[in-house]
Amino acid sequence: MSGNPVYETAREFEDIFPEKIPAELPADRGVKHKIDLASGTKYCVTRQWPLPREQVKAIDEFFESRRKAGHVRESILPHSSPNFCVKKATAGWRIVHAFNKLNDATIPAQTPIPWKDMVLDSMAGSMIYSAINLTNGFYPILMRESDIPLIAVSTPSGMLW
């Protein structure tokens, strides 16, 4: 990546674009992700399905690094969503959390998304365009404490949240 023309700029803002997930939780910036469930929702549970050995290894390594960083902990909660892996184009595995049941039970946030035409119009006359692939993009956002149990995940090796 050091040969990329924007590498120096990305390194200048390393707190926003870290090369690796920080070993600690992010600072509390006064905004926390929250999950609002539809009334009557009791538990969101999907059992972990069998996976090939190489995916189990990738999932175990992923969660072990998160456990060491204090991002996850063991769980015995009633909520549970499985994990699986998708091969990355560059190499390695992307860990996917199958939160389908949780998503189905969640009240969607009413955050307005700009129309495509408005975004394109605002870019008119620009000289430089970029796209950012946020590595592990959700980790910089803290979650409302009461919602953490909802995102418990099952792995072939145990339960975590």
Q: What average pLDDT does the structure give for the chain?
A: 86
**5 within some domain:** no
For 151, the domain range is 53-109+143-161
CATH number for the domain harbouring residue 152:
3.10.10.10
The pLDDT value recorded for residue 11 is 81
The pLDDT value recorded for residue 139 is 66
* Residues 134, 136: Cα–Cα separation, whole Å: 6
**33 within some domain:** no
- Give me the number of domains the chain comprises: 1
Q: What is the pLDDT of residues 114-154, one digit of tens each?
A: 899 998 999 999 887 776 666 666 667 888 989 989 999 99
**89 within some domain:** yes
**124 within some domain:** no
**Helix extents (H) in 15-156:** 53-68, 100-105, 116-122
Residue in the structure block whose two tokens are 């950012």: 132
The pLDDT value recorded for residue 98 is 96
Beta pairing, strands 83-87 & 93-97: antiparallel
**129 within some domain:** no
The pLDDT value recorded for residue 29 is 84
Q: Which residues of the chain have pLDDT under 70?
A: 1-2, 21, 131-139, 161
The pLDDT value recorded for residue 135 is 62
**40 within some domain:** no
**38 within some domain:** no
